[in-house]
Amino acid sequence: MKKVNIIYFVHGTTTDNENEVASGWNDAPLSELGIRQSTELQNNVKGKKFDAVFCSDLRRATDSAIITFGSGMPIVQDPRLRECDYGSLTGKNSKIVEAEAAKHIAVPFPKGESYKDVEVRMRNFLKDLERNYPNKTVAIVGHKATQLALEVILNGKTWKQAIEEDWRLKEPKEWKPGWIYVLKSGV
């Protein structure tokens, strides 16, 4: 059976994260902490072999990928890896967006998209990975919604479970320097 090993990295902390603002598709820059996190992540990826590195085309993910993986490997930006478009809630307090999350699994955020829309993007991206990187290992630098979509698609969680069990909402936050996912043929 063919498979693709995925190591998923969340972009570094942004100025919006520090101010509890939901960035969505806004191009929030990394904060000083986010730059440090991405720099420190270099040590965790040293010696690991990736056949490709992908990232969202939003600045925070692209900058994290460039800092972490440097110039040693081409980094492919892909808009399908973007955060959820929170529409009219973009730029609002992140607690408001989190409180609304369960309502927008299938119903789009006003003037935005739903989490199911993010899932469709991710399924399309994963089909390309399956076709182009069989039996390879890839790194992805992305966002909250795209990681939750991987939990749904590859780990069999419902969206409700993925949202409720999100490490970002638990104390202490269980951030890891790379989550491992396996894409098996036919997902």
Distance CA 85, CA 145 (A): 9
Q: What is the DSSP code (8-state) at residue 73? A: S
Residues 115-132: tens digit of each pLDDT: 999 999 999 999 999 999
Q: Read off the CATH number of the domain in which 170 is found.
A: 3.40.50.1240
pTM: 0.94
Containing domain of residue 133, as a range? 8-138+153-184
Residue type for position 92: K
Q: Is 90 exceeded by the pLDDT of residue 187?
A: no
169: Cβ contacts below 8 Å, ≥ 6 apart = 98
Q: Is 80 exceeded by the pLDDT of residue 184?
A: yes
Give the number of domains in the chain: 1
The answer to whether position 1 is within a domain reads: no
- Model confidence at 167, pLDDT cuts 50, 70, 90, reads confident
